[in-house]
Amino acid sequence: MNHDVVVVGAGIVGLTCAARLQEAGARVAVVTADEPARTVSRIAAAVWYPTHTVGDPRVLDWARRTFDELAAQAVHGVSGVVMRPTRMLLRAPSARPPWWAAAVRDFRVVRPADVPAPFAGEWRFTVPTMEMGPYLDWLVQRVTGGGGVLLRRRIDRLTDVADLAPVVVNAAGLGAGGLADDAGVHPVRGQVVLVSNPGLRTSVRDEDNPAGATYVHPRSRDVVLGGTFEPGVSDVAPSAATGQAILARCIALVPELAGARVLEQAVGLRPARHGGARVAVDAAGLHGGIRLIHVYGHGGAGVTLGWGCADEVVSLARGPSSSRTGAAATWGSSAAPGRAR
């Protein structure tokens, strides 16, 4: 074994785990069936926001850690990372902030007198956003530049990589369910429309639009318009009718989009899991005393929770030894995971 840890999956979660493990001193290999640029992460609107995620203290900690890491990356000029102002328009009054507001530095509730019709409320906040092409490239360069290797290999079972390292991290996204025999993993289809950017800087959300969730996320050269959230649907062909409906909803929400040139329609399958993301050591491990750690099932919140989950994976990889979970890691130091560089 030439590596300390092998990470299965090269989407946003797998690559952040690989980066954090390297920072902790581990020699890392990443095994992926597809190039990172071809994973579902590439299609993500990539805005920090815990969409369709139930809050509890553990999830809030993942979200807060990820927010802080991405905000630091924005300060350091990491490729594709920008802090972007956001308006969340509410269809019903909300007496209290959402559970995730504690992770956001400038969250505020807009005065009712300043909320535009027909909305009943509005939140404003600034969050990290990423352009996933440049960001995934940066992550790959960070991992390989730190001595990690990227192996193109399609596997049928996790034992296929057990000869590479004494610790295996299952971050295979939608494929992780089959590798872990987890029937709770399922696709959630999402369709977006990309249009030219007419000069927008602020993200705008109307999550409870009765015609369908509506969001407008500007980037440097284009705007991501969405969207759909279709559990159990695995068709990756864009629907022209759905695209037209998304475009109409977004123009109604942000009239400046009228006349913007349509660049692309894209579909991605979010890797969701009933019960939420699984970040845990597998009690059974793999044959030969290999420690197995699962980190999958984030749905559309991989960007929002990824770095926090990666911190936990490092702790789990360093965990105490047992006859069923493999030997404790001996690589690196006991220092806390690093920050943006």
In a domain? residue 19 = yes
Q: In this structure, what DSSP letter does residue 127 have?
A: E
Q: Name the CA radius of gyration of the chain, rounded.
A: 20
Query: Which residues are within 8 A (CB) of 2 and not within 5 positions of it... i.e. 6 or more apart?
Result: 27, 29, 164
Q: What is the pLDDT of residue 328?
A: 47
CA pair distance 25, 218, nearest whole angstrom: 37
**Mean pLDDT (whole number) for 83-88:** 98
In a domain? residue 206 = no
Q: E strands along the chain, which residues?
A: 5-8, 28-32, 81-90, 108-109, 121-130, 149-152, 167-170, 185-196, 203-206, 214-218, 222-226, 230-231, 262-273, 278-281, 291-296
97, with CB counted inside 10 A (0-12, 13-18, 19+), is middle
pLDDT above 70 (res 321): no
Residue type at 73 in one-letter notation: Q
pLDDT above 90 (res 259): yes
pLDDT above 90 (res 338): no
Please, where are the H alpha helices in 96-239?
132-145, 176-180
Confidence of residue 44 (pLDDT cuts 50, 70, 90): confident
Q: What is the pLDDT of residue 90?
A: 97
CA pair distance 170, 217, nearest whole angstrom: 30
In a domain? residue 50 = yes
For residues 284 and 216, the answer to whether their CB atoms sit within 8 Å is: no
Please, where are the H alpha helices in 128-239?
132-145, 176-180
**Mean pLDDT (whole number) for 36-48:** 76
pLDDT above 50 (res 334): no
Which residues span the domain enclosing 145?
A: 1-84+128-183+274-341
Residue with more model confidence, 336 or 58: 58
Q: What is the mean pLDDT of the chain?
A: 92
198, with CB counted inside 10 A (0-12, 13-18, 19+), is middle
In a domain? residue 150 = yes
Model confidence pLDDT, tens digit, residues 274-285: 999 999 999 999
User: What is the signed CA dihedral for 14, 276, 339, 75, rounded to 10 degrees?
Assistant: 100
Residue with more model confidence, 108 or 328: 108
Number of domains in the chain: 1
In a domain? residue 42 = yes
Model confidence pLDDT, tens digit, residues 221-230: 999 999 999 9
Q: What is the pLDDT of residue 324?
A: 41
In a domain? residue 3 = yes
Query: Which residues are within 8 A (CB) of 100 and not within 5 positions of it... i.e. 6 or more apart?
Result: 49, 50, 53, 55, 60, 63
CATH code of 280's domain: 3.40.50.720
Half-sphere exposure of 311 (CA within 13 A, CB side): 19
Model confidence pLDDT, tens digit, residues 136-193: 999 999 999 999 999 999 999 999 999 999 999 999 999 999 999 999 999 999 999 9
Model confidence pLDDT, tens digit, residues 235-247: 999 999 999 999 9
Model confidence pLDDT, tens digit, residues 112-135: 999 999 999 999 999 999 999 999
CA pair distance 50, 44, nearest whole angstrom: 13
Confidence of residue 325 (pLDDT cuts 50, 70, 90): very low
Model confidence pLDDT, tens digit, residues 198-222: 999 999 999 999 999 999 999 999 9
In a domain? residue 257 = no
In a domain? residue 324 = yes
